[in-house]
Amino acid sequence: MKIIRQIATRMAALAVLALPVCAMAQPAVGGLAGLEVDELTKCVNAIESATLPDTAASAYAKGCTINRRSSKLQLAYLRKMLRLGRPDIGQFAAGELSVIDPKSGLAWGTLAYMQTKKAQYLAALTPAVKAAELEPKNEPICQNAAQLVAWYEAGKRGSVDAEIARTMKDLPSAGKEFAAAYKRAKEAFKKLADAKADKDKQASLAEAVAKKAEDEYKKYSDQLKSAGRTYDQTVRQLQDAQQELDRTNINTNINNPHRGGYIPQQNNQQHRDNIQRRINDIQGNLRRQEDEGRKIRNEVDKAKREALSKREIAAKLTREAKKLAESMPDNFGWLPPAVDGVATPDATVAKPAPTGRKPAEPASSYLVPDPATKPAGAPQAPLEQRLAEAQAAEKLDMAKLCMASDDAAMKARARELLDEIVTKFASTPSAAVAKELLAKLK
């Protein structure tokens, strides 16, 4: 039943997407003009009086069949969804309205807000600046724009249109709402910059400590290598001495008088004794070198652990500094545009869970966009492409709901929607997801 209710809630809004693309480019024709105005007015009135998103969506879908390019219809639906705390549903109307009426600050502000929710700040910058220029007294719009402008100015964020760049310079003096928010944002970024500078300093000191520890490790490592070479030389000396002693013993046996040989030289025994003493000394040296080698190896192991530990600390501080350079201040908040001076919080934004508990799962999974989004800082896509993705994403949400049903007809409808996404919106991220879902249905 939950799935059916979700589907019913969105059917009306999705009916808009079934219209031909050409309907975006021209008003509806046919029928009496007066009748069209009356019916469209009824739809607008129904939207304005609706208390639930699905009620407003039904009236909106009907109005779009009459005249989809009515700025009055699109604005009424956008305002209603903002009032109901559902800017995600009003996003499509905002996209339509930004084309029909490029002077609608409410439309641009909604598009900018939805981009900030996905952390696509560079993509949000242009619509946010346009919205602030058109709605200089709308506090949430100005706050969002001011924070984005301050973020853009705080680092190398990519390129923007020359006109937008000029507008950004003029905004601080355009109205007190933007100026106040801009001042707060600049102060927040100043604190963030100070925190980064402090972290950079810590990272630099940690890097120096790590370098010193690595040099210490290298010193002991070199000592160990040198000791190893000395030990090898001593071993060779021992081998030479032992071979010399063996040769002396052989010669002694040959010259042994008891075997009828020659009389040995008088110093032969003394020579053997000297060799044996030398062997004993060499063996003593080897034992001392082995003890020294063990001590040096212990120092090497200790220095290695110390160097690795210091290097990890330096790397951690460097990562933290980089993260600070790429982050937004913690005190920043993103709000949907206000309607008639009233800013309604976004109902789809999850509230922080109590300490010690996991965050609750979203009540409606279709509110979470699945298609892969571009990383923060990516250039803004053309408006036509963004509108196509909005339509494809809406159809994809509907297809997922239909797939979750056990009814064969619903699954058939899901297959139709997925085929349509793959065919009509092949270049959108939603199309890639649709292909995967189609493979599961077959």
Q: Are residues 410 and 440 in the same domain?
A: yes
Residue 188 near residue 302, CB atoms below 8 Å: no
Helix axis angle, 105-117 to 71-83, nearest 10°: 50
Residue 344 counted as domain residue: yes
Domain boundary among 56, 81, 102: 102
**pLDDT(400) > 90:** no
Q: Are residues 85 and 159 in the same domain?
A: no
Q: Are residues 343 and 370 in the same domain?
A: no
**pLDDT(283) > 70:** yes
Q: Are residues 50 and 165 in the same domain?
A: no
Q: Are residues 278 and 139 in the same domain?
A: yes
Residue 434 counted as domain residue: yes
Distances (CA, A) of 17 to 12, 43, 174, 377, 420: 10, 18, 38, 29, 11
Q: Are residues 192 and 235 in the same domain?
A: yes
**pLDDT(20) > 50:** no
Please tell me the distance from the alpha carbon of residue 113 to that of residue 337, in angstroms, as a whole number: 8
**pLDDT(23) > 90:** no
- State what percent of residues in the chain have pLDDT above 70: 78
Q: Span 311-327, mean pLDDT?
A: 88
pTM metric for this prediction = 0.58
Domain boundary among 306, 322, 349: 349
Q: Are residues 205 and 306 in the same domain?
A: yes
Range with top average pLDDT, 105-114, 326-335, 407-416? 105-114
DSSP 3-state assignment of 340? coil
Counted domains in the chain: 3
- State what percent of residues in the chain have pLDDT above 90: 38
pLDDT interval class at 13 (50, 70, 90): very low
Domain boundary among 51, 85, 102: 102
pLDDT interval class at 382 (50, 70, 90): low
Angle CA(79)–CA(80)–CA(85) in degrees, nearest 5?
100
Diameter over CA atoms, the chain: 146
Tell me the pLDDT of the chain averaged across its residues.
80
Instruction: Spell 170-200 as b/e; 16+ CB within 10 A means b.
Output: ebbeebebbbebbebbbebbeebeeebeebb
pLDDT interval class at 409 (50, 70, 90): low
Residue 39 counted as domain residue: yes
Q: Are residues 238 and 337 in the same domain?
A: yes
Residue 22 counted as domain residue: yes
Please tell me the distance from the alpha carbon of residue 248 to that of residue 395, in angstroms, as a whole number: 99
Q: Are residues 167 and 76 in the same domain?
A: no
Question: pLDDT tens digits for 162-173?
Answer: 889 899 888 888
Q: Are residues 292 and 233 in the same domain?
A: yes
Q: Span 17-34, mean pLDDT?
A: 38
Three-state secondary structure of 285-315: HHHHHHHHHHHHHHHHHHHHHHHHHHHHHHH
Residue 57 counted as domain residue: yes
Long-range (24+ apart) CB contacts under 8 A made by 158-164 are 158/122, 158/377, 158/379, 159/379, 160/122, 160/125, 160/126, 161/126, 164/125, 164/126, 164/129, 164/130
Q: Are residues 58 and 138 in the same domain?
A: no
Q: Are residues 14 and 91 in the same domain?
A: yes
Question: pLDDT tens digits for 40-64?
Answer: 999 999 999 999 999 999 899 889 9
Domain span at residue 409 reads 365-442
Residue 437 counted as domain residue: yes
Long-range (24+ apart) CB contacts under 8 A made by 250-254 are none
- In this predicted structure, what is the pLDDT of residue 252? 57
Q: Span 298-320, mean pLDDT?
A: 90
Between 257 and 209, residue with greater pLDDT = 209
Please tell me the distance from the alpha carbon of residue 85 to that of residue 87, in angstroms, as a whole number: 6
Picking from 190, 175, 96, 116, the residue whose alpha carbon sits closest to that of residue 142 is 175
Residue 124 counted as domain residue: no
Residue 117 counted as domain residue: no
